[in-house]
Chains A and B, each alone.
Chain A
Amino acid sequence: MNNPIDQYQYSYGSGLVNPYSMLTSTVSVDYYTICRPIMGGDIKEEHPDFLNLGASEGLILTTDQRRLCVTVVGWPSVFLEFNRPFVSQGVNAYGAEEYRWYWDVEHPDSFIGVQLLKEEESETWVRYCIVIDICNGSPLLKGGSFDVIVSTGLVSRSFEVAILQTWMG
């Protein structure tokens, strides 16, 4: 059974504010806090975020070249964002996080795949490989470009991938 005093603390919206509380609160049910005591004052130093990209310039990928790899070393972990919305995201058979989208809606048998694979990690860095694939390598794929944003959440880097249409008809 809930302590009614706690309910006062939670009931700001309905006007039941605990008169002894110095807080006025607006509760959002989506948010919650996890609290744990740190015994013995054992507070470990936190390594600052960093990111080093193997490619800082634009990358050019032709439809017959099909694949490019970019090495990323960072801390503590990285994720990818794009300036174009991707169609699907998941973890593939190699354990890599894979994003894909269908570049040319007229040819859904071809898509651009971007994989983020963790290769190696230590206590202070993690190395990833970003693999950009033109899957099925259709010569019908249109050219274009997109930005890949690599981020730890606190620091980020980006690079542009340009897909060249090499099929001349």
Chain B
Amino acid sequence: MSVNYISSIGKFYKEEVLCFEFQLMLGSEAVWSRDYDIEMCVYTSELSRRLMVCDYSAGIVKSEFRLTSADGCEVLRRRNSYIVKLSPSFLCWLPDGVLTFGIRYIGERFESAEVIKTDPLISIRR
């Protein structure tokens, strides 16, 4: 589990809608969410399928370089954070494993990326 991850109840189910709030920090200050584009790759193991969740509302990445988000996900921007909503139609494509976010931030003057591991994602039917 990532040190930057604040734990939940210990596991996530693919059959529910999952919401995560992400806050990009620079030192002790949160970065305004309008200042960066987001490319997030969601997966559960090294060999699992990678599903993209992208939001280019900051307008920094040119349209020809933009990636397409997978179906069943949504990004809600807040002042200094953003919320990623993953629905069962998105999660069903991921094999059981640790739900992991590889996030890339593209700003006007910076670019940063990191990997955040959360809790196991499993099917409630197994």
Please list the residues of chain A having a beta carbon within 8 angstroms of any beta carbon in chain B: 5-6, 9-10, 12, 18, 20-28, 30-39, 41, 43, 46, 49, 76, 153-154
Contacts and interface: CB of A to CB of B under 8 A. Distances in A.
A46 B18 CA distance: 19
B4 A33 contact: yes
7 contacts: A20-B46, A25-B113, A31-B114, A32-B4, A33-B23, A34-B22, A41-B85
B83 A22 contact: no
Interface string B79-121: 1100101000000000000000111110000111111111000
Given A46-B78, A153-B79, A36 B21 contact: yes
A-side binding surface: helix, strand, loop or mixed? loop
B110 A9 contact: no
A37 B25 contact: no
Interface residues of B, number: 47
Residue from A20, A37, A41, A153 whose CB has the most chain B CB atoms within 10 Å: A37
A38 B19 CA distance: 5
Given A23-B41, A32-B25, A37 B116 contact: no
A26 B32 CA distance: 20
Contacts, number: 113
Given A5-B46, A20-B46, A25-B104, A35 B116 contact: yes
Contacts of A37: 6, 8, 12, 18-21, 118
